[in-house]
Amino acid sequence: MKTFPALWVCATDLISRLPWSVLYQASQACALKREVYPPFAHGATCGATLGLAAALGLGGLSAAQAQAPVLAAPASAIAVPAPAPARPVRPTQTQTQAQALTASPAARNLAAWIRTSGNSQGLPFAVIDKKAARLHVFDSAGVLQAVSPVLLGLAVGDDSVPGIGERALSSIMPGERTTPAGRFVSEPGVNLQGEDIVWLSYDAAISMHRVRAHNKAERRLQRLATPGASNKRITYGCVNVPAAFYDRFIQPVFGAQPGVVYVLPETRPASAVFGLGEPPP
């Protein structure tokens, strides 16, 4: 063919302009092809291969890039995405239904009245059964969320001593350490130690907070872990909640917005305290 010499000259001129590193790579590729496929032994074919390499822009590689071996990254160097943080596990419907069945008739009746009367006025609410020493937490729709044992005031009684909120703890006698009954619009707050709490009555210094076990002799953590209600009367009047329960169900809700806390009485009927059947205040 008359055009072959011209093509060969063009290819030779093009090849002469390529960096030596690209020529080396192309020659190695031609050598491999000759071993597995004889037609590639023809020099013109290899020249075309080199020309194609130039057309594809391989000439822009540096000698170091061309000679550097391609190595697989070790497994330890492969970036593995960190697992997504686990979402808090909420109780299942079956669990909360089972917890609801363990509530006392007084607690169930009060919760039913709150839902039907709208007494909580669309706020999340809690029912504290002092006789059972149990806390029942509901969302704003009145759906039970969780139940927990709590520690309550040492003394039996449904009223706070007048002016008790202004007195030092050391001056409060054992018979005055009551958890008052009633309907309390709760508010988030902070105590003198900087701990977040939920105020039930600021004037009476009654709040709901994480249990504190500073006084080992009181065995507050052990009291929470054992069954029965009588051994859970130890506080000055505040409602002590297990820390894990508080962080999961109290702080995110009652610690962030107002709510309503109903404390059932233990010395008189609930109807005398809450005015069951009356419209919300």
Rounded to whole angstroms, the Cα distance separating 186 from 241 reads 15
Rounded to whole angstroms, the Cα distance separating 237 from 205 reads 8
pLDDT value for 73: 41
Rounded to whole angstroms, the Cα distance separating 136 from 145 reads 8
Rounded to whole angstroms, the Cα distance separating 100 from 41 reads 86
The strand pair at 206-210 and 239-241 is best described as: parallel
Burial class of residue 206, CB neighbours in 10 A (0-12, 13-18, 19+): buried
Rounded to whole angstroms, the Cα distance separating 264 from 128 reads 6
Tell me the DSSP string of 249-274: IITTTTTTS-EEEEE--SSS-HHHHH
Beta bridge pairs of residue 136: 127, 147
User: Does residue 58 have a pLDDT over 50?
Assistant: no
Residue in this structure with the two tokens 């210094």, named with its chain if needed: 205
Q: What is the pLDDT of residues 205-219, one digit of tens each?
A: 999 999 998 899 999
Neighbours of 163 (CB within 10 A): 9
Among 251, 121, 111, CA closest to 188 = 251
Q: What is the pLDDT of residues 176-215, one digit of tens each?
A: 999 999 999 999 999 988 999 999 999 999 999 999 988 9
Rounded to whole angstroms, the Cα distance separating 259 from 257 reads 6
Q: Which residue has the higher pLDDT, 258 or 47?
A: 258
pLDDT value for 102: 72
Pick from 41-45, 100-104, 234-238, 267-271: least confident: 41-45
Q: What is the pLDDT of residues 64-84, one digit of tens each?
A: 444 444 444 444 444 445 555
Among 229, 241, 225, CA closest to 133 = 229
Residue in this structure with the two tokens 């702080």, named with its chain if needed: 251
Q: What is the pLDDT of residues 229-263, one digit of tens each?
A: 999 999 999 999 999 999 999 999 999 999 999 99
pLDDT value for 101: 53
pLDDT value for 75: 43
Q: What are the backbone angles phi and psi of residue 7, rounded to the nearest 5°?
A: -65, -40
Q: What is the pLDDT of residues 88-138, one digit of tens each?
A: 445 555 555 555 557 899 999 999 999 999 999 999 999 999 999 999 999
pLDDT value for 241: 98
pLDDT value for 51: 44
